Amino acid sequence: MTSRRPRARRGWAAHERVPALAAARALALTALLAGVLGGVLGGAAAQTVTIRTGEDPNARLEVRTVPLPGGATRTVYVVTARRVVLEDEEVTVRASRLEFDPSEGVVRIVGRGRVERPGETIVGEDLRVELRGGRLDGDDMVVIADDVYVVGEGARRVEGRISVMAGRLAPCARCGQQVEDYAFAARRIELLPGDRLIAWGVVVTIRDVPVFAFPLLVLPLADEARSPRLEIASGNADDPGVVRVDWPYVAGTNAFGIATARLRLDVDPAAGGFFDGRILGGEVQDVSLAPSVDHRFYDARGAGRLRVRYQPEWTRDDGTVLAEERLAFTATYASDGASGDPAVSLRLARDDDARPDLLEATWRVAADLGPFRASYRTQLPLVRDPDADVRPTWKDGGTPFATPFALRLDAGDGTVAFGPWRWEGVAVDLGAFRDAPDPTNRSALGGDRVGDGRLEVRHRLVLERARLGNLEVRGSNAFRGRYYGSGERQVDWASEVAADLSLDAYGSLGLTLERATVEGETPFAFERASLRTRADLRVRGTWVPLPTLVPGTRLEGDAGWTFVDDRAPDEVGWKPTEVTLSTLGEVDVASLRAVHRADPRLRDLGTLDVDASLRTPDGRFEASATLDQRIDLDLEQPEAQRDAPPADAGEGTLEASAGLPDVATAALDVGWDLDRTDAAVEADETFTWTPVTLRATLGTSARGDRVPSLAARWTFDPEGDALAETSEVRYTATADVGAFRAEIEESYGPAGAAPGTHRVRLAWDDLLAAQVDGVPLLPGDAIGLPEDDTAARDVRLRIEDGGGLAGLGLRAELRATFRPTDDGDRERRDTRFEASLQVGDRTWFTGALQAEAEAFLDVPLRDDVQPEGYLRRANLAVGVDVLRTVGLQGRFGYRGRYDLASESVASGQLAFEAVTLTVRPNRAWTLGATLDDTWEVRADEPADDLRLDPRPTLFAAWDRCCWAAYARWDTRSGEVVLTLGRPGTREGRVLRFDEGPTVPWGEEEGEP
């Protein structure tokens, strides 16, 4: 036996060998440091025991030497303090005085103490605890395990089982009830924490009054899925009652499961006593047993599961069928990955409810076969009626309806390399399938399903970069072919070969041949593919003339040929060409680029684009000019870009700018068209200016920089009737003053054009913003650009949050459209006020008021079309809690309908969506009322469903901590529901009365 001396911590070792009195004195002096002792427990595995006394200055440690009968002695530590805590690896003992025998590993509590283990707490008098084996004895004990309170005169814990003599199962003990609402007194109680509680000789007491007795009580404490369970559901005239028992079992060392007996009871609601009438819903007329089992098992290679559920046919004597015969089962087995080859999986399933008459069978075997992974699978829906319309569980669009057999050899990630070639992704799949016919394949149509054999081959051949001097060749060939017994084939084949010839510093030449095809036929819908075949050749070339003498100059070309494209046959032939000449590429202040685009297939000489630019070197002052010129080289053909209309014209632009960034800049954009068509030549209009834009910017518009900005743009048409006819004037101005920012944006079209943009926005930091649209600050007349008098003008005023108000969002908008009338006036229409507000979960008055709300309002206002304002929509979703006593939540909504013919509100409906008022006068009681209804509040004769009817559903909950009762009364229908269950849930025993009392209302008022 290995012994270890108590391990000293924080200076206690110094006192261990001193006489008890001195030690006690020392303890008193060092109590603040807390005491620690290590205990030596017998056995090979030594454990460390820690004893703490907290901050108690009067804590005492006595080391007693106890003589044994054989003459030997034993050392016992006696610790006294206001609170002594002894901690082992799994056990914590709390007491005010305890004796610890480290050699035996025994703790004796003097007086009342507490022993805690994970999931288990025992409180009692004079407890004796064995730290090693977990044994425990004591008197006057309370055992708390798995939320179960057991009180007993004496108890013993042996190997995880707690025996309580003359005990009481008292769920209400933890609630501090002086007189417990209910309890179960028992002659003997066996508690197996985490599993179950068994009590013998049980007497049920209510408020300490014995009510009735029964010999045995078993209470499951295990995980819900592995607990015995009893469920009782009441029946009625339409649905049978159900008594269901789930019983977990263990079958040997490698199997377990749950067996279930489900009794379905045909009841007569008009008859029956207390038990069958109230609990089962009526007198039992007939019984049907529907058993089921969920069994799991394991073997050396894998695991399996069998689930079976059976409902026999159940008919009344009069021939009424209460239940059809139904069988559902799933049997699965799969080997573990770690158990090696062959990997096997099986599945056999049938579910008469979900898929009647269908038995599903799946079998898979896989093993390595040389360099391949070989797998075999069979997946069959076995149908009794071949014409039945069934859908197996695996039918997801990409899986066949049935696979009688399929054998696959797959090389996986394996590759074979020979020289520059690499062969990869090799797989062969041979199988027979049955599936719905591909609807696009006419020869496959004719029945609901088609069956056929299929061989699928796939591989990919890759040519790595192979060099032959300056020539580099690479390529790939990816192939997937499917070959069917019907003689049909479907091929997905993509090939690419590319060759690049390097001319060193003088350029390169590249050639790429690509072909991609998805073609053929499949008889099966699950393999349907989108068909397309296209093949083309592309040539790219780069030439760098005199690389050292003219650096940055290069000529690039791109051309090609389309051999076939069955989706676009008109594209077969030459591909569009592009030749680009770039120069001055290494000069900072200038660049020149010319691009020629043509379409040889259309015999189009195409276009020539020339781009030239000049700019100042880096510095404070910046200036640049860019010239783009496009010249159409062929007047007879459309431009190279397909689908574009014939242009027969060139165009050019010049952009120039200069200035000091962030201070003042000016820019000019000018363009022109060159039209060489006969008509243009005849009219002497071969050169025309396009609109010119002048731009100027002062300051910066960056937020918060306190530098005002003004940006203006004037676009005019030099070709207009009047010189410099304005196309558009636009300006924006911004200014930041403290936390405020003002923005103005206005634009004007040509004289007489539709109203432009007129926007003024004032923002207060990111808190609030106001914006007006449609009201010109600077009238167009003032700058000679009057707006169209006959155009409608939309005006809107909006106030909204800026996103910086945490938990608060708001928006209010007033808008209208002003439209000119025939008599020269303007009418106002579509006038509307819309507002919304969101208040997140907030508290006020130090938490006394807690609320969140969301509101919306939509009000068309009186204008020249709408005769009067009316409320079109409004809603308020609210949650309010006052003093945690009164609560209101739900959604109030209103919607109105206006009849323009009668100029009146035709309908106004007020909707209450789960509007609930709750009052909680104390912790035990909750009272409330719920309204869920829609009322017509404007029409004189609303439909029956929309009549005003404020009768709510009343509810009350009584929470007694260890049990709770709920009552709900629908004052309109009279339905009363009483529920007895656990606090916090509304599940439990339910008593329902459909024809309870109602509150009279409306036409019912006169009825008795």
Residue 827 near other proteins by CB under 8 A: no
Burial 118-133 (b: 16+ CB within 10 A, else e): eebbbbbeebbbbbee
| Residue selected from 75, 345, 440, 657 as contacting other proteins according to rule CB under 8 A | 440
Closest CA to 476 of 457, 496, 492, 459: 496
| Residue selected from 327, 667, 814, 855 as contacting other proteins according to rule CB under 8 A | 855
Residue 879: partners with Cβ closer than 8 Å, 6 or more residues away: 841, 851, 852, 853, 887, 888, 889
Residue 414 near other proteins by CB under 8 A: yes
Closest CA to 885 of 918, 858, 920, 840: 920
Q: What are the Cα distances from residue 275, in Å, to 142, 280, 512, 787, 992? A: 34, 7, 87, 87, 15
Residue 457 near other proteins by CB under 8 A: yes
Residue 665 is encoded by which pair of tokens?
């800049």
| Residue selected from 376, 856, 963, 1001 as contacting other proteins according to rule CB under 8 A | 856
Closest CA to 669 of 657, 661, 660, 658: 657
Q: How far apart are CA 154 and CA 126, in angstroms?
A: 11
Q: How far apart are CA 108 and CA 124, in angstroms?
A: 12
User: Least distance from C-beta 915 to other proteins, angstroms?
Assistant: 12
- Please work out, in degrees rounded to the nearest 5, the angle formed at the alpha carbon of residue 261 by the alpha carbons of 258 and 266: 155
| Residue selected from 487, 617, 619, 1006 as contacting other proteins according to rule CB under 8 A | 487
Residue 757 near other proteins by CB under 8 A: no
CB closer to other proteins out of 269 and 942 = 942
Q: How far apart are CA 463 and CA 472, in angstroms?
A: 11
| Residue selected from 245, 874, 927, 961 as contacting other proteins according to rule CB under 8 A | 874
User: Least distance from C-beta 794 to other proteins, angstroms?
Assistant: 16
Taking phi over 0 as left and psi of -120 to 50 as alpha, with beta for the rest, 610 belongs to beta
User: Least distance from C-beta 981 to other proteins, angstroms?
Assistant: 23
Q: How far apart are CA 642 and CA 218, in angstroms?
A: 84
Q: How far apart are CA 969 and CA 458, in angstroms?
A: 69
Interacting stretch for other proteins, rule CB under 8 A, among 154-162, 585-593, 773-781, 830-838? 830-838
607-646 mask for other proteins (x: CB under 8 A)?
------------------------------------x---
CB closer to other proteins out of 233 and 531 = 531
Residue 168 is encoded by which pair of tokens?
């009481």
Residue 913 near other proteins by CB under 8 A: yes
Residue 534 near other proteins by CB under 8 A: yes
**Interface of this chain with other proteins, residues 915 to 934, rule: CB under 8 A:** 934
Interacting stretch for other proteins, rule CB under 8 A, among 515-523, 581-589, 681-689, 790-798? 515-523
Backbone angles phi, psi at 554, to 5 degrees: -150, 150
Residue 991 near other proteins by CB under 8 A: no
Residue 512 near other proteins by CB under 8 A: no
771-810 mask for other proteins (x: CB under 8 A)?
--------------------------------------x-
Q: How far apart are CA 884 and CA 849, in angstroms?
A: 8
Residue 770 near other proteins by CB under 8 A: no
CB closer to other proteins out of 484 and 714 = 484
**Interface of this chain with other proteins, residues 686 to 725, rule: CB under 8 A:** none
Residue 74 near other proteins by CB under 8 A: no
Interacting stretch for other proteins, rule CB under 8 A, among 131-139, 219-227, 532-540, 578-586? 532-540
Residue 404 is encoded by which pair of tokens?
């009688």
Q: Which helix (H) or strand (E) holds 737?
A: strand 725-737
Q: How far apart are CA 820 and CA 941, in angstroms?
A: 40
Interacting stretch for other proteins, rule CB under 8 A, among 308-316, 497-505, 664-672, 869-877? 869-877
| Residue selected from 367, 608, 712, 946 as contacting other proteins according to rule CB under 8 A | 946
CB closer to other proteins out of 428 and 965 = 428
Q: Which residue has the tokens 């709408």?
A: 866
Between strands 849-860 and 471-484, the pairing is: unpaired
Task: Find out whether the peptide bond into 118 is cis, omega within 30 degrees of 0.
Answer: no
User: Least distance from C-beta 477 to other proteins, angstroms?
Assistant: 7
CB closer to other proteins out of 530 and 846 = 530
DSSP 937-952: -SSSS--GGGS-----
CB closer to other proteins out of 14 and 914 = 914
Taking phi over 0 as left and psi of -120 to 50 as alpha, with beta for the rest, 280 belongs to alpha
**Interface of this chain with other proteins, residues 362 to 381, rule: CB under 8 A:** 370-371
User: Least distance from C-beta 834 to other proteins, angstroms?
Assistant: 10
Residue 830 near other proteins by CB under 8 A: no
| Residue selected from 220, 520, 718, 869 as contacting other proteins according to rule CB under 8 A | 520
CB closer to other proteins out of 428 and 698 = 428
| Residue selected from 156, 326, 891, 992 as contacting other proteins according to rule CB under 8 A | 891
Residue 945 near other proteins by CB under 8 A: yes
**Interface of this chain with other proteins, residues 181 to 220, rule: CB under 8 A:** none
Residue 972 near other proteins by CB under 8 A: no
458-477 mask for other proteins (x: CB under 8 A)?
-x-x---------------x
User: Least distance from C-beta 531 to other proteins, angstroms?
Assistant: 8
Q: What are the Cα distances from residue 481, in Å, to 407, 427, 623, 767? A: 16, 11, 62, 64
What number of chain residues touch other proteins (CB under 8 A)?
Answer: 85
Residue 825 near other proteins by CB under 8 A: no
Residue 447 near other proteins by CB under 8 A: no
Backbone angles phi, psi at 682, to 5 degrees: -60, -40
Residue 426 near other proteins by CB under 8 A: yes
Interacting stretch for other proteins, rule CB under 8 A, among 132-140, 691-699, 755-763, 836-844? 836-844
Interacting stretch for other proteins, rule CB under 8 A, among 115-123, 534-542, 665-673, 818-826? 534-542
| Residue selected from 223, 899, 987, 1004 as contacting other proteins according to rule CB under 8 A | 899
Residue 873 near other proteins by CB under 8 A: yes
**Interface of this chain with other proteins, residues 249 to 278, rule: CB under 8 A:** none
Q: How far apart are CA 739 and CA 101, in angstroms?
A: 75
Q: How far apart are CA 886 and CA 327, in angstroms?
A: 52
Q: Are 630 and 607 in contact (CB under 8 A)?
A: yes
Q: How far apart are CA 824 and CA 316, in angstroms?
A: 85
| DSSP 8-state code for residue 776 | -
Q: How far apart are CA 276 and CA 595, in angstroms?
A: 94
Q: Are 680 and 710 in contact (CB under 8 A)?
A: no
**Interface of this chain with other proteins, residues 540 to 579, rule: CB under 8 A:** 562, 565, 567-568
Residue 391 near other proteins by CB under 8 A: no
